[in-house]
Structure 1
Amino acid sequence: MLSAYPACFFKEESGYSVVFPDLNDLSTCGETLDESLRMAVDCLAGYLYWLKKDGEAAPAPSSVDAIRLADVAAELEVSMDGAFVNIITVDVEEYAKTHFEKAVKKTLTIPAWLNTAALEQNINFSQVLQDALKAQLHMG
């Protein structure tokens, strides 16, 4: 399912800042307009993905006409020069399959005795590593 939210683009000295007013001023940036657009898609997909994972509902998107660019610029204390609003769209489920849920293979070394003991108890090495990394990174 395609999700679409308005984003405010503000021209900066080193590129563009991108703000999603409907999503608690969620923001990202890029050095070029193309990079800013890609980053906006990634930012939107990540935010909506984690809302869903946490069991939270996403707020309804505003129409482009409802976005008051001057108000957003004033709140953020940024210039209106070169500013514009654009709709950012993403299929969150498809994007997540490629960018958030894609498994990567890791090779590691453990002592032979530890490998034997774990195999005897049918331990899932991948799951143990994932759980340990999440705990180490305080990610739940």
Structure 2
Amino acid sequence: MKDRYVFPAVLDFADDGISVEFPDLPGAFTDAQTDEQALEMAKDCLALHLYGMEEDGEDIPQPSRPFRIELDGARTQAVTLVEVWMPPFRNKMSNRSVKKTLTIPKWLDDLAASNKVNYSHVLQEALKSELGVNERERIGGK
């Protein structure tokens, strides 16, 4: 697993926006309205796609050289290199919230509601306690 990836992207400029695809990564596709948005969306798309491949244990291919990318011959396409630095993205993904369904007795739910209990907070604290984990250890602090 690498921390830095650089892949070529094909930008296709049309009247209704800009589409972005990564020829080396089937399914990695996004679109935008402006050049700036296209590059920002391309970075997000690339990071998310590579993260998914890492999580699934897939081999990440070597990126093609930009000059080897074949365009359709129209002047509406261009190749650009897109770089992503994965550590902050991986951290963001590991800290995202996930929804879980739980079941508790109605009387306990009623009591918690009347005391304005924040279920998410209570469950997080209980899980940390049960697993013997504190936030500083989890993120590598001392």
What TM-score results when the alignment is normalised by the length of structure 2? 0.65
Taking the aligned partners of 1:17 and 1:43, their CA distance within structure 2 comes to 12
Give the CA deviation at 1:126: 4.2
SS of the residue corresponding to residue 18 of structure 1 reads: strand
1:12-91 pair list within 5 angstroms: 12-24=14-26, 26-70=28-72, 80-91=74-85
Q: CA RMSD in A?
A: 2.9
Q: Which residue of 2 aligns with 1:125?
A: 123
Task: Provide the C-alpha distance between the structure 2 equivalents of 1:105 and 1:29, rounded to a whole number of angstroms.
Answer: 26
Matched, 1:4 2:1: no
Question: Any unmatched runs of 5+ in structure 1?
Answer: 74-79, 117-123, 128-140
Aligned CA distance change for structure 1 residues 25 and 66 (closer, same or farther; 3 Å): farther
Contact 1:15 1:33 in 2 (8 A): no
Helix, strand or coil at the partner of 1:21: coil
CA distance in 1, matches of 2:98, 2:64: 41
Greater than 4 Å deviation, 4+ residue runs: none
- Pick the structure with more helix per residue: 1
Task: Measure, in 1, the Cα distance between the counterparts of 2:56 and 2:27.
Answer: 19
Identity %: 30
Calculate the TM-score normalised by the size of structure 1. Answer: 0.66
Looking at CA atoms only, which structure, 1 or 2, has the larger radius of gyration? 2
